[in-house]
Amino acid sequence: MELTARAFWLRSPGHGEIRDVTLTPPADGEVLVRTLFSGVSRGTETLVFRGGVPESQHASMRAPFQDGDFPAPVKYGYLSVGQVEEGPASLLGRTVFCLYPHQTRYVVPASAVTVVPESVPAARAVLAGTVETAVNALWDAAPLIGDRIAVVGGGMVGCSVAALLARFPGVRVQLVDADPARGDIARALGVDFALPEDAAGECDLVVHASATEAGLTRSLELLAQEGTVLELSWYGDRRVSLPLGEAFHSRRLVVRSSQVGSVSPARRASRTYADRLALALELLAEPAFDALITGECAFEELPDVMAKLASGSIPGLCHRVVYDDV
């Protein structure tokens, strides 16, 4: 019997569609996964949907199982949770996470899936890729006991970083965002919240994740002497300017990048990509992370919903996609 599936494609910038696809039956060492849920990574996926990936970044921005090329047509995404229908006995029937686009079924190498712990609901596991980014950011930042920390930008990544920092002993952590509604999410995560003008200063570390010039500027203003801004935002084809005059040099401030495409050098000798993702899934046993899922739709609705997410008419953080068989 021919294996078929349905997949979400970006037909052209701003226009998505559902396409039928034919699957090759799984070979030895491969798995057939039936998708239960997928998640829309709002920042990156809406940028892709708008056609905003710079040509210079087409290669580095490719998702692991992407089909097509930027700007379009392209099948893009990387937050998929499903159940293994065919494959090695050790994985058969297990719930797994995979960096796969939005598609009802797919065949991948068994090494490409990570088993979701029984303590983590499948519906929450779509956050694994985002929490993995947060884990890598904190490996890069290496916060210390007693640090004064701000997270500027209350999107999916910023909230995930703040949620993990809230578990560090003795730190002062504050989530900073221009949208007062993010205060409710911060409280659900057990984190203090402030508007940019009210944020506490003299920070040893500021994690910036707002993807705005104003947010990065405010991050520098919140630093103590010799403090560090860890930059998580990706601006696509936009240019940003920074106030690197004034007291930037005299106060010996640092701006450092972090990118989930590589494991933090400090951890490279002992930690792998698989280790990082497995840790992210373990951390998702915490029910507070449910606060990051603020919307839901059926898979067939995704072309219309993605356009609304890209335009901002559907607000919120992670948008979860539910598949027919759930």
What pLDDT was estimated at residue 116? 98
Contact 182/215 with Cβ under 8 angstroms? no
CA distances from 234 to 31, 67, 172, 211, 246 (A): 33, 22, 26, 6, 25
* Phi, psi of 203, deg, nearest 5: -85, 140
What pLDDT was estimated at residue 325? 63
Nearest alpha-carbon partner for 138 in 271, 42, 295: 271
What pLDDT was estimated at residue 1? 61
Contact 189/288 with Cβ under 8 angstroms? yes
Q: What tokens does 17 get?
A: 């569609």
SS3 category, 97: strand
Report the distance separating Cα 192 and Cα 271, nearest Å. Answer: 31
**pLDDT tens over the chain, length 326 residues:** 679 999 999 999 999 999 999 999 999 999 999 999 999 988 889 989 999 898 988 998 899 999 999 999 999 999 999 999 999 999 999 999 999 999 999 999 999 999 999 999 999 999 999 999 999 999 999 999 999 999 999 999 999 999 999 999 999 999 999 999 999 999 999 999 999 999 999 999 999 999 999 999 999 999 999 999 999 998 777 788 888 988 899 999 999 998 776 776 666 567 888 899 999 999 999 999 999 999 999 999 999 999 999 999 998 899 999 998 65
Report the distance separating Cα 105 and Cα 93, nearest Å. Answer: 14
What pLDDT was estimated at residue 268? 59
Q: What tokens does 150 get?
A: 């701000």
What pLDDT was estimated at residue 315? 87
Q: Which helix (H) or strand (E) holds 213?
A: helix 213-221
Q: What tokens does 202 get?
A: 């003299």
